[in-house]
Amino acid sequence: MAQLWGGRFQSATDQDAYRFNASIYFDKRLVHEDIEGSLAHAEMLARTGIISEEDGKAIAEGLKSIIADVDAGKIEITDKYEDVHSFVEAVLTERIGDAGKRLHTGRSRNDQVALDMKLYTRKAVKAVDESLFHLQEALSDIIDNNLDTFMPGFTHLQKAQPVTLAHHMGAYFEMFIRDRSRLKDIYNRMDSCPLGSGALAGTTYPLDREFTAEKLGFKLGPTRNSMDSVSDRDYLIEFLSALSTIMMHLSRFSEEVIIWNSNEYRFVEIDDRFSTGSSIMPQKKNPDIAELVRGKTGRVYGALMSMLTTMKGIPLAYDKDMQEDKEVVFDAIDTVTDCLHLFTGMVSTMKFRNDVMEKSAKNGFTNATDAADYLVKKGVPFRDAHSIIGRLVLKCLEEGKAMDDLTMDEWKSESEVFEDDIYEAIALRTCVEKRLTFGAPGHESMAKNAAFYHEYLKKQSF
């Protein structure tokens, strides 16, 4: 067992206790970040004269050779090592001798792992943001091509008022704008370097923490309080919260795709590449990707709850409980990244049944509010207009037809105010086009939004 401690112990660790305590099984994922931080630390130690330039050079060359061999598959990170830190230091010492033992001067595994997780999380935040960007690109294409594709808008899962497919997709585009904004906030807030905080109280060595912070790209410089530095996991909680919100948005979107894909709706047809069949029913084409995205949302929520629960009772500074941060964070990142990738593929290849959506909007009385507004503009009090149209809707339901199919005699049976212009007033295009307030589904309003989305996608988040 390769460990970075043991001098004061008289007997070896119980094997089961060793396995229970070890983190190598999952923190080996941090090997690139661990070596990245170690290279900066070694350069700083040599630069400040804490170790010799010769040792600093040997350490740097040794570290680079280790990561090259790991990437090439020439060396395996096994459970012989307690954690990724002991793996790197043990292999380094095997390769360059005593100089490798000087690498850990002026640092602890506490500030080392805090750094590794920050470096890893920063990359993950950017990767998730990029995945959201690609999903927004797919949505932008749908919006551009469907400014005049009419469909029913819903409240309470009941058909409410006519909108366009572009307007509906724009709602999700807006959600993902907020998601990306949250990721940027998290990135900026965590952009300080904990390296050099030691176990909890800094060190007596003359470390140049500003140098390592700059070397590692932390714009806020070194963290200000060494106790907080090694015990801070707020950025992981914030990230898991942002990931949970992203999954909530994807889950809502998935739910609609699942409904729209059903035989009862037939608004969309999911591409075969993102569907599955049944082992017994040959006619089935199931929206499994959307269903799995919806299902995996709970998994990411669980990671957030796990992290909050782990941190709620931990006194300052570092405690072993914090080792529990990695598996849930890694799993949540993998889950969200996979979901975004597959969901984007599904949406970008999905076929929309424009004719079915328009027919659904017409037969769902989504123009009833406009019919009431027609009466109001003719001088009828709104409450009376509401009742008149309600009775006409009931008549249509009883006779199985749309309001557009009512004869003029049928209109006038409820109010003499109706004239032939009622048919134009309740046409879907009219209903949508006259909604020109900012944020509404009218063509002019949505065209402005589509142009805004194009400009938004040209900007860099980070």
Q: Write out the catalytic residue numbers.
A: 156, 278
How crowded is the C-beta side of 168, counted as CA atoms within 13 Å?
25
How crowded is the C-beta side of 391, counted as CA atoms within 13 Å?
11
What's the distance, CA 355 to chain centroid?
A: 33
Asked if the peptide bond before residue 317 counts as cis, ω within 30 degrees of 0, the response is yes
Q: What's the distance, Cα to Cα, between the start and end of the chain in Å? A: 42
Helix (H) or strand (E) holding 355: helix 354-363
Distance CA 293, CA 338 (A): 9
How crowded is the C-beta side of 352, counted as CA atoms within 13 Å?
21
- Among 95, 5, 106, 108, CA closest to 59: 95
Distance CA 38, CA 194 (A): 13
Distance CA 163, CA 154 (A): 9
3-state DSSP assignment of residue 161: strand
Residue type present at position 293:
V
Residue type present at position 36:
E
Distance CA 314, CA 310 (A): 8
Distance CA 307, CA 331 (A): 12
- Among 441, 422, 425, CA closest to 433: 441
Angle formed by the axes of helices 325-349 and 288-311, nearest 10°: 160
Distance CA 329, CA 120 (A): 10
274 touches 349 (CB < 8 A): yes
Q: Which residues contact 264 (CB under 8 A, 6 or more apart)?
A: none
Q: Which two tokens stand for residue 87?
A: 């793996």
Instruction: Supply angle C-alpha 341, 299, 274, rounded to 5.
Output: 35
Q: Which residues contact 80 (CB under 8 A, 6 or more apart)?
A: 1, 2
